[in-house]
Amino acid sequence: MASSIVKGPLQMIASSLFFALMAYYAKLASAQIPGAEVTFIRFALGVVAVLFLAAFGFVDLRTRHKGLLVMRGTFGGVAVLLYFLALAGGSMTNSTILNNSYPIFSTVMAVFTLQEGISWATGLSLLVAWIGVGFLIHPNFHHLYWPDLMGLISGILSGVAVAMVRELRIKNESAWNVFFYLSLFGCIFSLLVALPVWVWPDWHYSLLLLITGILALAAQLMMTSAYKYCSTALGGVLSMTTMVFTAVLGICLVGERLTLGESVGAFLIIFGSIWVAWLTGGSKLKATE
């Protein structure tokens, strides 16, 4: 049980922290580098890393689930591309929060594809967390502009992709294969968008791009691995702490300030995450060991 908690929920929270740091450095890099190019560099580093490990026998890229991996790579790659485009054109907090609306969609997907049941308490905790999102970003959909729209669409596509990750991990597909296909198809889609607006970075922005790629590599692998040890609902809500970490980074490093409503939203997200972990952690984790 203790081992599953470390491999599942705690690994998911660590992944959320790394994703928040990735968003921060991607935002810095986007000051000069187009969002699609930042996305391509992030994915290219992932492809290179996996191929390097495979060449020396540390990673086996053979799979019996190529079709599902291609679908996951397509949905996930486009979702990340839209997220980075939203990040470049909008605010770091709004883009991250809209992208992380995916637990609602992944949970619905899991009901139909994985037959995962959701208790009323788990559903209520998801609702509490979603209300927290509303407080945190206080959206005004009468004035929704394109970065927010792309962020929301990236959240929907991420929900589909996350449900596929969960299914792949149940089938014992390796985290490396899942990550490789995401990176490969993400490279293809982002390169097509980036080529017309390509900008060669100087050493400073090259370093920012490298840091972004390394953080993304670590975060994605931890997230993919964690979904073998926790349900889609549990993993999805815990991953929503990315928004809290992003807000903290905004306050400490960018000088942003949270209003009272945004602070209430952050509290509700944390509360909802703890609640769903307490309610579903034991049985769901045990079932996937």
The yes-or-no verdict on residue 286 having pLDDT over 50 is: no
Closest alpha carbon to 173 in 228, 114, 110? 228
Angle, vertex CA 104, rays to CA 261 and CA 121, nearest 5? 80
Q: What confidence tens digit (pLDDT) does each residue in 164-202 have?
A: 877 787 788 887 888 899 999 999 999 999 999 999 999
pLDDT score, position 145? 65
Residue 84 in 3-state DSSP?
A: helix
Question: Taking all residues of the chain, what is their mean pLDDT, rounded to a whole number?
Answer: 80
- From residue 18, alpha-carbon distances to 32, 182, 245 in Å are 22, 18, 9
Tell me the whole-structure pTM to 2 decimals.
0.79
pLDDT at 6: 60
Choose the weakest-confidence range: 43-57, 98-112, 120-134, 143-157: 98-112
Phi first, then psi, for residue 256 (nearest 5°) are -75, 155
DSSP assignments along 124-145, one per residue: HHHHHHHHHHHHHH---GGG--
Backbone angles phi, psi at 30, to 5 degrees: -70, -10
pLDDT tens for 98-130 read 787 776 666 666 666 655 666 777 778 778 877
